[in-house]
Amino acid sequence: MTDTPQPIIDLRSDTVTKPSPAMRDAMARAEVGDDVYGEDPTVNRLQEAGAALVGKRAALFVPSGTAGNQLCLRAHTEPGHEVIVEGASHIVRYELGAAAALAGVQLHWVPGRRGLMTAEQVEAAIRPKDAYSIQSALICLENTHNAGGGTVYPLATIQAIRRVASVHGLPMHLDGARLFNAVVASGVSAADYARHFDTVTFCLSKGLGAPAGSLIATDDRLLLERIRRFRRMYGGAMRQAGILAAAGLYALEHNIQRLADDHAHARQLAARLQQIPGISIDPETVDTNILFFDVIGAKWSAKEFVAALKPHGLLLNAVGACSCRAVTHLDVPTEAIEQAAEKIARVLDR
Ligand X SMILES: *Cc1c(COP(=O)(O)O)cnc(C)c1O
Q: Which of 11, 43, 46, 203 binds ligand X (CB under 6 A)?
A: 203
Compute CA 346 distance to the chain's CA centroid, rounded to the nearest angstrom: 32
The values of phi and psi at residue 216, to 5°, are -110, 125
How far apart, in whole angstroms, are the C-alpha atoms of residue 57 and residue 221? 8
Stretch of residues binding ligand X (CB under 6 A), selected from 20-28, 51-59, 60-68, 265-273: 60-68
> 294 CB contacts (<8 Å, ≥6 apart)?
279, 280, 281, 302, 322, 323, 324
User: Do the Cβ atoms of 194 and 54 come closer than 8 Å?
Assistant: yes
DSSP 14-29: GGG----HHHHHHHHT
Residue 346 beta carbon to ligand X: minimum distance, rounded to whole angstroms: 30
> Angle CA(209)–CA(217)–CA(29) in degrees, nearest 5?
45
Question: Any contact of residue 287 with ligand X (CB under 6 A)?
Answer: no
Q: Which of 76, 90, 265, 343 binds ligand X (CB under 6 A)?
A: 90
Question: Any contact of residue 65 with ligand X (CB under 6 A)?
Answer: yes
Nearer to ligand X, 71 or 203 (CB): 203
Nearer to ligand X, 88 or 137 (CB): 88
Site for ligand X (CB under 6 A): how many residues? 11
Nearer to ligand X, 35 or 95 (CB): 95
Q: 290 by DSSP, 3-state: which?
A: strand
| Residue ranges in 167-196 that form contacts with ligand X under rule CB under 6 A | 175, 177
Site string for ligand X, 112-151 (x = CB under 6 A): ------------------------------x---x-----
List, in sequence order, every beta strand (DSSP E) within the chain: 9-10, 58-62, 82-86, 106-110, 136-142, 172-175, 199-203, 214-218, 279-280, 290-295, 314-315, 317-318, 323-327
Question: Any contact of residue 66 with ligand X (CB under 6 A)?
Answer: yes
Nearer to ligand X, 53 or 182 (CB): 182
User: Do the Cβ atoms of 215 and 221 come closer than 8 Å?
Assistant: no
Stretch of residues binding ligand X (CB under 6 A), selected from 64-72, 109-117, 217-225, 256-264: 64-72
Q: Which of 12, 45, 55, 64 binds ligand X (CB under 6 A)?
A: 64
Q: Which residue is nearest to ligand X (CB)?
A: 65
How far apart, in whole angstroms, are the C-alpha atoms of residue 211 and residue 248? 8
How far apart, in whole angstroms, are the C-alpha atoms of residue 316 and residue 292? 10
Stretch of residues binding ligand X (CB under 6 A), selected from 49-57, 63-71, 258-266, 309-317: 63-71
Point out which residues bind ligand X (CB under 6 A).
Answer: 64-66, 69, 90, 142, 146, 175, 177, 203, 206
